[in-house]
Structure 1
Amino acid sequence: MAWLFKTEPNECSIDDIAAAQDGVIWEGVRNYQARNFLRDQVQLGDLVLIHHSSCKQIGLAGLAKVSATAFADPSQFQPRSPYYDAKASAERWPWYAVQVQFVEKFRKIITMDELRTQPALAQMQVLKKGNRLSVMPVTKQEMELVLFLTRA
């Protein structure tokens, strides 16, 4: 399976992932559906499209892979973190994280407009109106086409 993870580049960009020798903990996911994807479906070695959002150039910035699967999101236990959850405890923690490692930075950001020009991507979740999930599945065909576009 493949995935798309949304991030704000001032928080965790493709460059940050590239600079992290041991990978980056993908933490701070606070939507239950996205959490369930991390907890129940994201697998070791899955490819991840890194999507920069809430920035000047919105779009797909690069590729990572999952290097560690679901574990307790450490930010939920840190009172100074914006992702702190006072209800979380060592015995009962609601939020999960995964670790990702850098694979590749695309030569240029693949914008949402560019993706929308591809009829084969019409059902891609990130392109659907109102979709705000930070973690979403990507089909094999969608991933193949996106990777083709990065090399065109």
Structure 2
Amino acid sequence: MRYWLFKSEPDTWSWDDQVAKGDTGEEWDGVRNYQARNFMREMAVGDRGFFYHSQTDKAVVGIVEVIAEAHPDSTSDDPRWDCVDVKAVAPFPRPVTLDEIKADPELAEMVLVKNPRLSVQPVSAAEWRRVCEMGEADPES
């Protein structure tokens, strides 16, 4: 299993919106960055990801699971753009803010710290465990 981080502006697509989709999940559509798209092409069903509220909260607020591998993005007629489907797994009991992540020396190399604008990014297993610990979330959920 690999780990990822998915960023979304809460006024566009929030954690509550994701939860409302239930087990059917939703496409992680609208990504128009080649690096982020390529990361989605690497994903496998069962991979886990952090759901990150960008812009306002700037915090990890939940855990999602990839439920469909990369396929054409339904919001584009351009065949270059793919997306995956994700479903909500569990909320973070305590959101973990970007400031907290940046302040933790164990997370200094995290892509979120080094390249905070990238909308879909990999997370190492050690980073996954540490952020889950900070948010009082079960890393196995």
Is the shorter-chain TM-score for this pair beyond 0.5, marking a shared fold?
A: yes
Match of residue 121 from structure 2: 136
Between Structure 1 and Structure 2, how many residues are aligned? 135
Q: Which amino acid aligns with 2:60?
A: L
**Contact 2:94-2:136 within 8 A present in 1 as well:** no
Instruction: Report the equivalent of 2:95.
Output: 109
CA distance in 2, matches of 1:150, 1:53: 17
Cα distance, 1:151 vs. partner? 1.1
Structure 1 position 125, deviation (Å): 0.6
Segments of structure 1 that go 5 or more residues without pairing to the other structure are 78-87
TM-score of the pair, normalised by structure 2: 0.91
Instruction: Give the letter for the 2:136 counterpart.
Output: R
Instruction: Specify the alignment match of 1:42 in structure 2.
Output: 43
One-letter amino acid of the counterpart of residue 113, structure 2: L
Structure 1 residue 12, shift from structure 2 partner: 1.2
> Where in structure 2 are there 5+ consecutive unaligned residues?
none
Counterpart pick for 2:34 among 22, 32, 35: 32
Superposed CA deviations along residues 42-101 of structure 1, whole A, max 9, x for unmatched, are 11111110111112x211111100000100000003xxxxxxxxxx2xxxx000010001
Partner of 1:6: 7
Would you identify which runs of 4 or more consecutive aligned residues in structure 1 move more than 6 Å? none
- Which protein is bigger by CA-based radius of gyration? 1
Identical pairs, percent: 40
